[in-house]
Chain A
Amino acid sequence: MANTYGYNPYYALTILSRTDELGRVRAFVREAALQFGFSAADAEKIVLATDEACANVIRHGYNGEPFHFINISIETNGRAFAVVIDDDGKSYDLRTHIIPDTQQYFKERQRGGLGIKLIRLLVDEIDYIADGSHNRLRLTKRLPNSSE
Chain B
Amino acid sequence: MATFTSTVRTVGAVTVIDLSGDLDAHTSVQLERTIQDLIQKKHFNLIINFSNLNYISSAGLGVFMAFIDDVRANGGDIKFSNMPEKIYQIFDLLGFPMLYEIYKDEREAIEKFKTSATT
Contacts and interface: CB of A to CB of B under 8 A. Distances in A.
Given A23-B2, A41-B86, A48-B90, A111 B62 contact: yes
A142 interface: no
Interface in A127-148: none
Interface stretch (B11-19, B93-101, B110-118): B93-101
Interface of A: 18-20, 22-24, 26-27, 41, 44, 48, 51-52, 55, 58-59, 102-103, 105-106, 109-112, 114-115, 117-118, 121-122
A96 B61 CA distance: 23
What's the dominant secondary structure at chain B's contact region? Answer: helix
- Give chain B's interface residue range (CB within 8 Å of chain A): 20 to 34
A50 B55 CA distance: 13
What's the dominant secondary structure at chain A's contact region? Answer: helix
Interface stretch (B20-28, B42-50, B74-82): B20-28
B69 A114 contact: no
A52 B94 CA distance: 14
Contact of A24 (B1, B61, B62, B68): B1
